[in-house]
């Protein structure tokens, strides 16, 4: 079973405003409300691609109830820990000439709730896969993913971490199976502006030296670079298309990569599946469906994109 953990789920309120102006009353031309949070998005896309997961994490209040209901509508299994105070956040995604996002802080997670999650994670076995994705509420230390991984060191399960900054750096010594920084996160990690492919690769290799097995660097419309545990560097361009909503493109890429890897054990195929799922989500108002990913993969293989 694949387990995803989202410490800070959200309701994503995605609004389109034709010519957004600051300091004015703006009116939307379309609105969408979707369950969000990185681990949850990974679970939804995996389900769309035919792979069962259980979504773990923390939910609270009326927004939490709505998030869980909407995730279940996709057919995903959930086993969230409920917080007794506060409510899960609402993240605003503003689409105008450019895309802007305002992500909330999320509710405080009590010690008791954290123990409840740890208890669920202690039941994982070597055959399971764990995805730790997204930010954590401000009340928790940035060592939290590291703490989870250190509790699981005796087990041989594959762990995927999609996080930024210290949250990511601190887990590397526990040898995550896959990390997926985007180009901006990579620049932030090394505190230098990166623009060239060779610089991305050099930084990716440094993360591998620190312990990550596979490093997948996503470059939005420019595709992605995978550095495999065997030291192979595989690059893939992204297909061209009209971006409708890129929120969750990175999470879709993680789900596509997992699917491709589980299907064949081949990293080249996993990367292609990751790109096909990421780009399908970017070109659609919803997260990628199986039909969209299959069609995208075919186009990529026939080089018609």
Ligand X SMILES: O=P(O)(O)OC[C@@]1(O)O[C@H](CO)[C@@H](O)[C@@H]1O
Does 10 contact ligand X by CB under 6 A? yes
Partner from ligand X, ligand ATP, none binding residue 275, C-beta < 5-8 Å depending on class? ligand ATP
User: Whole-angstrom Cα distance, residue 250 to residue 270?
Assistant: 14
Q: With CB under 6 A as the rule, give the number of residues binding ligand X.
A: 15
User: 154 with 167: CB under 8 angstroms?
Assistant: no
**Please, which of residues 70-129 interact with ligand X by CB under 6 A?**
91, 103
Q: How far is the CB of 154 from ligand ATP (least distance, A)?
A: 31
Does 37 contact ligand X by CB under 6 A? yes
Q: How far is the CB of 23 from ligand ATP (least distance, A)?
A: 27
Q: How far is the CB of 129 from ligand ATP (least distance, A)?
A: 19
Partner from ligand X, ligand ATP, none binding residue 103, C-beta < 5-8 Å depending on class? ligand X
Does 278 contact ligand X by CB under 6 A? no
Out of 43, 48, 53, 135, which residue is the one contacting ligand X (CB under 6 A)? 135
Residue 162: active-site member: no
Residues in contact with ligand ATP by CB under 6 A are 182, 218-221, 223-224, 238, 241, 243, 246-251, 253, 275, 278-279, 282
Q: Catalytic site residues?
A: 251
The footprint of ligand X (CB under 6 A) covers 8, 10, 12, 36-38, 41, 91, 103, 134-135, 247-248, 250-251
């Amino acid at each position: 079973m694949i387990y995803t953990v989202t410490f800070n789920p959200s309701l994503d309120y995605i609004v389109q405003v034709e010519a957004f102006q600051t300091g004015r009353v703006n009116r939307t031309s379309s609105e969408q409300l979707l369950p969000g949070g990185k681990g949850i998005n990974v679970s939804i896309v995996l389900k769309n691609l035919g792979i069962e997961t259980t979504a773990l994490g923390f939910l609270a209040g009326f927004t939490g109830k709505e998030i869980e209901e909407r995730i279940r509508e996709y057919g995903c299994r959930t086993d969230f820990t409920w917080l007794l105070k506060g409510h899960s956040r609402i993240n605003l995604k503003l689409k105008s000439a450019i895309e802007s996002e305002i992500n909330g802080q999320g509710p405080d997670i009590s010690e008791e709730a954290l123990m409840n999650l740890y208890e669920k994670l202690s039941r994982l076995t070597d055959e399971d896969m764990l995805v730790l994705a997204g930010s954590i509420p401000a009340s928790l230390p940035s060592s939290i993913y590291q703490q989870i991984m250190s509790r699981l060191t005796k087990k041989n399960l594959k762990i995927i971490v999609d996080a930024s900054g210290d949250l990511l750096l601190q887990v590397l010594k526990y040898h995550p199976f896959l990390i997926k920084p985007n180009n901006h996160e990579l620049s932030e990690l090394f505190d230098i502006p990166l623009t060239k492919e060779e610089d991305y690769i050099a930084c990716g290799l440094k993360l591998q030296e620190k312990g990550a097995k596979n490093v997948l660097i996503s470059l939005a419309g420019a595709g992605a670079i995978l550095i495999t545990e065997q030291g192979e560097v595989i690059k893939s361009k992204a297909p061209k298309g009209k971006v409708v909503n890129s929120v969750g493109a990175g999470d879709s890429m993680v789900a596509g990569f997992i699917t491709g890897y589980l299907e064949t054990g081949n990293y080249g195929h996993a990367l292609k599946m990751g790109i096909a799922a990421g780009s399908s989500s970017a070109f659609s108002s919803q997260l990628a469906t199986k039909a969209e990913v299959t069609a995208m993969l075919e186009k990529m293989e026939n080089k018609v994109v």
